[in-house]
Chain A
Amino acid sequence: MSTKFKELGKVALSVTGIIVVWWAVAATGIINENFFPSPGAVWLAAVELYQDGILIGDLQVSIGRAAIGFVIGSTLGILIGLLTARTKFFAFALGPFLTLLRPIPAIALVPIAIVWFGIGEGSKYFVISYTVFLAVWLNTHHGAAHVAQTYIRAARSLGAHRTREFFEVIVPAAAPHIVVGLRLGAALAFLSLVAAELSGASEGIGFRLQDARQYIRTDRMFVGLIELGILGALLDQFFVYVGNRLVHWEQL
């Protein structure tokens, strides 16, 4: 309890320190306000966006997209990962794509996603779920393919048939890796969300960043960037919290 409190205190101190330095640099006036806004200007921009209902609206839209993409991508990632790790056929059929697909960045998929799914929500879900899928697939595959041999030997000599071996040994043994994949996937969901929203969107954090550029509203851009930072950090903490309870036998 007290260590957690200490940790929070450290974070608060660090953030305050950065804001003070930022504010001090801005106050000297050596940097053009339009180029690099002061903390106060960013705060005012945030308040303005909030009063117009844009801030909350963007958050809702973006979180909704990221969540749907995450659910689709992670479900498929876990299923395919278990299959490629434990069945010869899927390992043969899809194995090479584990390495071939990895270098393709999410943003490179936006044009084809728009052709396939239009500029509506479909293309966003596709880009996000694809990115999440890849991260979760990779980690699930790794975890399920490298289950300690003694676990499998013990399970079989204790009379477990294939189904029980799969659900009571393989899946829990791979669970720590799956959780790592989900955590990574959640971070990547926001990364690809912005990529997807930069073109063909009319709301959302990514759109707002692009929109702010048109009017050189750097203060609004900073609001968007800070939103992404806070959202990502909170989500990561959430996954660590849930993950440590879900796979309590392994410290994440």
Chain B
Amino acid sequence: MSMPQEQTTTTTTATATGRVQIEDVAITFNLPNGDTVVAVDAFDMVMEPSSFTALIGPSGCGKSTLLNAVAGFVPFSHGSIKIDQEPVTGINPDVGVVFQQYALFPWFTALGNVEFALKRLNLGKKEMRERAMEALREVGLDGRASTYPGQLSGGMKQRVALARTFASEPKVLLMDEPFGALDAQTRIAMHELLLRVWDAHRATVLFVTHDVDEALILSDRAHIMSNGPGKIIESIEIDSARPRRVDAMTEDFLKNRNHIIGLLRHPEPEM
């Protein structure tokens, strides 16, 4: 009698990939003079599969450090980080990362950069090329396939980086202020593009930013972090339909915006 129900549960867990569970995580750094700095402390966060989470906070609040821990780039001293129940112990190709400074390999063409990500799938040469071209087409850069990153604008570089990261079909996508170096217009175009590509691939996204508008336009849920040691002081659900536009703000949007900016100005409100 309970059999069908159990089967349903199993199927749900098997298809629902990319659940990130962060429990009581602390990250400390040892300074050369022997001092220890607590960058992140008692951090809890759950990201449901295919959700879009934004992490907002002032510079130095530890948001990038936390992202680096999820990516496996830096070790954490306490707590646990699990992706689909698997503990994070190091760098994992199921977790894609988009860096602020693009991190494209300047010695490879745009196509070569995307193919770099596809090599781990052991495809045939022809299939790899086709999939790489498809990934570039998705970000509108199939015409620049043989261009080297040095000849691309900042926005184009980040589009190639997006194509490269999505091409390897990560379950989780970590973005560390990816559009921080771009001008306002390019940013808006990048937001639309990111949402479109994300819609097609549906990875669980963690998006680190200090830009409140950006977080409200993109995410389902925004966590606001406070300074030293970094921890979440408030979480906001954003359920208005996408696309959301800065030039056509809804009342909810403005309310959230003012609230978050207030929080960032006074991170620890007096009780």
Contacts and interface: CB of A to CB of B under 8 A. Distances in A.
B120 A159 contact: yes
B253 to A, nearest CB: 33
A156 B148 contact: no
Interface string B171-214: 00000000000000000000000000000000000000000000
Contacts of A200: none
B206 to A, nearest CB: 13
Interface in B93-120: 93, 95-97, 99, 101, 103, 105-108, 116-117, 119-120
B97 A154 contact: yes
Contact of B103 (A151, A159, A160, A164): A151
A169 B106 CA distance: 10
B99 A154 contact: yes
B117 A150 contact: no
Given A150-B99, A151-B105, A153-B91, A158 B150 contact: no
Interface size class of B (residues with CB under 8 A): 20 to 34
A247 B91 CA distance: 29
Contacts, number: 58
A150 B149 CA distance: 15
B223 interface: no
Nearest to A172: B107
B91 A156 contact: yes
Most-contacted residue by chain B among A155, A159, A250 (CB, 10 A): A159
Nearest to A249: B106
Given A164-B119, A249-B150, A157 B105 contact: no
B95 A157 contact: yes
A168 interface: yes
A150 B101 contact: yes
A183 B6 CA distance: 69
A248 interface: yes
A157 B72 CA distance: 9
Interface string B146-185: 0011100000000000001100100000000000000000
Given A150-B103, A153-B71, A159 B93 contact: yes
A172 B105 contact: yes
A155 B164 CA distance: 11
A175 interface: yes
A155 B71 CA distance: 12
Contacts of A158: 93, 96, 116-117, 120, 164-165, 168
A107 B101 CA distance: 47
A154 B103 contact: yes
Nearest to A246: B107
A169 B97 contact: no
B85 interface: no
A160 B116 contact: yes
Nearest to B100: A150
Most-contacted residue by chain A among B107, B119, B164 (CB, 10 A): B107
B92 interface: yes
A64 B271 CA distance: 84
A160 B92 CA distance: 10
Interface in A124-168: 150-151, 153-160, 164, 168
Given A164-B119, A168-B116, A249-B150, A157 B107 contact: no
Given A150-B99, A248-B148, 10 more contacts: A154-B99, A157-B71, A159-B93, A159-B168, A160-B119, A160-B120, A168-B116, A172-B107, A249-B149, A250-B106
11 contacts: A154-B103, A156-B91, A157-B71, A158-B120, A158-B168, A169-B105, A247-B107, A249-B106, A249-B107, A249-B148, A250-B106
